[in-house]
Amino acid sequence: MTVQLWTYILVGITFALYIGIAIWSRAGSTKEFYVAGGGVSPLANGMATAADWMSAASFISMAGLISFMGYDGAVYLMGWTGGYVLLALLLAPYLRKFGKFTVPDFIGERYYSKTARIVAVLCALLVSFTYVAGQMRGVGVVFSRFLEVDINTGVIIGMIIVLFYAVLGGMKGITYTQVAQYCVLIFAFMVPAIFISIQMTGNPIPQLGMGAKGADGVYLLEKLNGLSTELGFAEYTKGSKSMIDVFAITFALMVGTAGLPHVIVRFFTVKRVRDARKSAGLALLFIAILYTAAPAVAVFARTNLINTVSGQPYSSMPQWFSNWEKTGLLKFNDKNEDGLIQYVADAQLNELVVDRDIMVLANPEIANLPAWVIALVAAGGLAAALSTAAGLLLVISSSVSHDLIKNVFNPKITEKQELVAARLSAVGAVCVAGYFGINPPGFVAAVVALAFGLAAASFFPAIILGIFYKKMNKEGAIAGMVVGISLMLFYMLKFKFGIFDGGKAAVAGLKSDWWFGISPEGFGTIAMLVNFAVSLIVNRFTGEVPEEVQEIVENIRIPSGAGEATH
């Protein structure tokens, strides 16, 4: 059978599974819609959290980034995995004990203010829409290549599927769908990695195969270093980023992780505080399977790509090359008209442009693996993108229906009306997400990294101070969130999109203009520190926190009996 036929079969089976789960687990109350009724087991929640967390950026784009950036790409591994440890230790159990539905719910109650809640909602929407833009691009990339449909059509198909189980099942439907999606995506990521590891080094464990010798007796990384330098690229195992930028990006991704609303809300779905801890630990284990294999996949993909295309006649390129050319994500321009593909670092001489997001998806094809393995990767990429998109859409939906309509504008709304509002909000969010998928703002991991910066700049200080500093007042928290996210937005728009300087910085990539030598992906660290500073300074000169709020903060930090706490 052909790759396309296998893809239709595997994607069709997985989509049918997701829709079946949504029908089986449809939400009948707002509690089921927002937090799956609060009765999810730690194992199921751990798998769902891992799927929610491992987005298209993790599955499709991260190994692609590392394959092009080499050593510098390690910042994404360190930041995203380290952030999860931070989330599990510092936030998950305390937020679960607080017992609210959403992050804006926590901030609104903890800071006893409708204004704080509204600011938190706006931050949640900004972070979620930035993040979902990356997921929809991932959906479009997969559909355009493997189902051979127009990218716009692919995005619309994906959004219809997400809309169905997100609107029908809410968090309950999304949770059990994400359990299935985790199984699909981890199997889809690891099977080709194992195949290629055996093919290139004889070792079935990709993590070990990356550092093993190939059939020629040369260590794989040593061989890749040689191939890279021959073509004028930097050595694969040497970094070029400054230490301050590496630190800033890593830390921004870490604290951004701990502030992501769609991940945090998962800890409200379990029964007890100790279940929140268990599910966080299990999720970290499930995530580590993919994250430890990603560098190996990057090395395999980069080595195979260079060996297959560099210096080779264009006329002899295999079928996968022309398949990806059709998508526009792989481009060959024969500048010297000699019929050979010159793939070199010098932009004046280079004739091949490779989109980073295709590396994981094209890797099995480049390695000439069986058609069913190639199709399996397509199903996995869709599972990764759709699982995270669903979680983000729920955050957007609950922010509008629960935090704005129910708690700010119309407190007397009935539960049935709130459920209708939540579902209508989800429909609106899907339409916006679809727009971002059709008009993608960049490659997946770059967009997602910016979402982490926005989360770091806005939510992290407010949540940390809200839990560990009982005298933190509403004025300080509001001022910190507003200043932090505004600063991050300004920097992002200036240096990533060139909004404030006629596009010069974004087009030319003027690193010399970066403040403190820190890239837009790492600036969330600076914005977060400014948030902390503003919060504490404003807090020092404004009103006292009410006694009852201080008692709530004391209570969520008391460990005695916490194992059985349900509220």
pLDDT of residue 564: 46
pLDDT of residue 565: 44
- Determine the 3-state secondary structure of 436 from DSSP: helix
Q: Which helix (H) or strand (E) holds 352?
A: strand 352-354
pLDDT of residue 562: 44
Phi, psi of 213 (to 5 degrees): -90, 145
Averaged pLDDT for residues 544-559:
83
Per the prediction, the chain carries an average pLDDT of 82
Start-to-end Cα distance in the chain: 54
pLDDT of residue 474: 92
Question: What is the spatial distance between Cα 482 and Cα 503, in angstroms, rounded to a whole number?
Answer: 25
* Local confidence band at 455 (pLDDT 50, 70, 90 cut-offs): confident
Residue 529 predicted with pLDDT over 70: yes
- Determine the 3-state secondary structure of 523 from DSSP: coil
- Determine the 3-state secondary structure of 129 from DSSP: helix
Question: What is the spatial distance between Cα 341 and Cα 43, in angstroms, rounded to a whole number?
Answer: 49
Q: What is the phi-psi region of residue 368: left when phi exceeds 0, alpha when psi lies from -120 to 50, beta otherwise? A: left
The pLDDT tens digits for 14-25 are: 888 877 887 776
pLDDT of residue 479: 95
Least confident of 29-43, 222-236, 376-390: 29-43
* Local confidence band at 465 (pLDDT 50, 70, 90 cut-offs): very high
Contact 460, 255 (CB under 8 A): yes
Q: What is the pTM of this model?
A: 0.81
Least confident of 27-41, 77-91, 463-477, 547-561: 27-41
pLDDT of residue 267: 76
Q: Which one is predicted more confidently, 390 or 285?
A: 285
Averaged pLDDT for residues 53-63:
77
The pLDDT tens digits for 120-175 are: 888 888 888 777 777 777 777 777 777 777 777 877 887 787 777 666 666 777 78
DSSP string, 330-371: EEE--TT-SSB----S-TTT--EEE-GGGHHHHHHHHTT--H
pLDDT of residue 15: 81
Question: What is the spatial distance between Cα 162 and Cα 174, in angstroms, rounded to a whole number?
Answer: 9
Averaged pLDDT for residues 113-119:
89
User: 101: number of CA atoms within 13 Å, CB side?
Assistant: 25
Q: What is the phi-psi region of residue 161: left when phi exceeds 0, alpha when psi lies from -120 to 50, beta otherwise? A: alpha
Neighbours of 148 (CB within 10 A): 14
pLDDT of residue 440: 62
Least confident of 259-268, 340-349, 555-564: 555-564
pLDDT of residue 388: 76
- Name the percent of the chain lying above pLDDT 70: 89
pLDDT of residue 480: 95
Residue 99 predicted with pLDDT over 50: yes
Question: What is the spatial distance between Cα 489 and Cα 438, in angstroms, rounded to a whole number?
Answer: 23
Least confident of 3-7, 288-292, 467-471: 3-7
Contact 422, 492 (CB under 8 A): no
DSSP string, 276-315: HHHHHHHHHHHHHHHHHHHHHHHHHHHHHHHHHHTT-BGG
Averaged pLDDT for residues 284-310:
89
* Local confidence band at 194 (pLDDT 50, 70, 90 cut-offs): very high
pLDDT of residue 268: 75
Question: What is the spatial distance between Cα 455 and Cα 524, in angstroms, rounded to a whole number?
Answer: 8
**Residue 40: strand pairing partners:** 270
